A = this chain, B = another copy of it.
Amino acid sequence: MLAFANDYSKGAHPAILQRFIDTNLDPQPGYGQDAYSASATEKIRRACDCPDAQVTYISGGTQANAVIISTVLKDYQGVVAADTGHVSIHEAGSIEYTGHKVLTIPGHDGKIDAHELAEYIKGFYEDDNHIQMVYPGMVYISQPTEYGTLYSKAELTAISAVCRQYDIPLFMDGARLGYGLMSPANDITLPELAKLVDVFYIGGTKVGALCGEAVVFTHDNQPEFFNNRVKRRGAQLAKGRLIGVQFEALFTDDLYFKISAHAIEMAKQLKAALTEKGYQFFIDSPTNQQFVVVDNAKMATLKNDVDFSFWEKIDDTHTAIRLVTSWSTTEDEIEQLKQVL
C-alpha cells in the first residue's frame, strides 16, 4: 500500500532518532527547562532573525492552536478565521472548549482577504455599541492553508497591516510551514514572515518529527506566566526534552528546510504524473498536498494500492481526493504510484 494519505503516517527523520540515542542518558531538568530546548530555541531565533522571540514546545497542532488562541485573547474576544480554517471546523471544538468563539469570514481557496478582513473588523470600531457581540481579538491564518495554497508576501503584508491598524495580534498556524517555505511558488522568507506576524508555530509533527510544534512569540510578547498557563491546559510535558531534542535536530544544518524541499520535489513529480495521466485538479496547490477529482469507479480501484484521503463529494459519480507527500516520500513510491494511476 502506497502511503500518500497524509504527511504523518511514518515515524521521524532518522537524524532525530539518532539524536534521541545520543542524548538519552544525559539528565536534564523537566518542564521545558532542559538544555536541548534552550539550544533549539537559540537556533529558531536565528532562523527567524528574531532575537527576542520566545519559543515554547507543544506536543501537537490542536493543542498549540488552543493554547495560543486562549492565552492571547481577552475574555470578551474571539478569533477571526476563514470559514474553512482548521480551527473552525476540524479541531472537534477545541477553541470553543476554551470558552472562545471562532468568528468566520469567507475563505478563498483557504485564504482570507485583507480587504474583507478590514471591513469585518472596522464594523466593530465604527460605533461603541456592540455589547451583544464577540469582538475580534486575534486573526488566525494558516500557511500553507488547509487547501495547500500559499499567501504571497504582498497578501501577508496587507493582512498584517490591517491587524496592526486595529491592534489585533496576527497568528499563523504553520503546521506545514516547511512545505510552504520550500515551495517554488513561495515569495517570502522565514524572517520576513516572522516580522509580519505576532505569534506562529513551526510544525514538527507533519515535517519529520514524532511530535511537536515550536510556538514562537516573535517580539517578546509571550503572555506572562506562560508556563503556568500551558501546564493548566495540560500541555506541558514532564520530559520537555522530547520535543527540544527534535527541534534542535531539525534546526541543525538546515534539516527542516532540506526535508521540506524534498517533499516539495516529490510533490512536483506527483503533480507532473497526475497531469500527464489527465487527472483534473480540484484546486491548484503549490505545496505537498495535491487534490484531484476522480470518478468513483477509479477511486475504488485506486484504494487497492494507494492510501489517500477522501476530501469531499463532488457529485454522485465524482469525488475529490487528496494525495500528500512528505519528508519520507521516496522516488520509488512516486514511481509505483505512477504505475497505478
Contact = CB atoms under 8 A, between A and B. Distances in A.
A5 B63 CA distance: 29
A58 to B, nearest CB: 9
Contact of A227 (B12, B63, B131): B131
A238 B206 contact: yes
- Chain A interface size, as a band, is 35 or more
A328 B328 CA distance: 32
A106 interface: no
A307 interface: yes
B132 A90 contact: yes
A178 B1 CA distance: 38
A169 B28 CA distance: 37
A278 interface: no
Contacts of A75: 70-71, 223, 225, 229, 232
A78 B93 CA distance: 8
Nearest to A223: B75
A228 B97 CA distance: 12
B231 A94 contact: yes
A11 B31 contact: no
Contacts of A62: 231, 234, 236
Interface string A44-69: 00000000000000011111011100
B24 A11 contact: yes
A231 B10 contact: no
Given A61-B238, A93-B101, A96-B99, A24 B8 contact: no
A21 B10 contact: no
B131 A31 contact: yes
A17 interface: yes
A222 to B, nearest CB: 13
A94 B233 CA distance: 6
Contact of A93 (B29, B76, B91, B237): B76
Contact of A92 (B25, B70, B76, B211): B76
A224 B228 CA distance: 24
A92 B67 CA distance: 15
Given A1-B27, A10-B24, A232 B93 contact: yes
B99 A97 contact: yes
B9 A232 contact: no
Contact of A14 (B24, B30, B74, B130): B24
Which one of A70, A101, A236 has the greatest number of beta carbons of chain B within 10 Å? A101
A95 to B, nearest CB: 8
A246 B31 CA distance: 20
B92 A134 contact: yes
A262 interface: no
A17 B1 CA distance: 26
A149 to B, nearest CB: 20
Contacts of A61: 238
Interface centre among A5, A134, A232, A235 (most CB of B within 10 A): A232
Contacts of A258: none
Contact of A20 (B17, B97, B131): B17
15 contacts: A5-B27, A8-B30, A10-B27, A11-B241, A65-B234, A89-B132, A92-B133, A93-B101, A94-B233, A97-B233, A99-B99, A131-B228, A131-B231, A205-B239, A233-B234
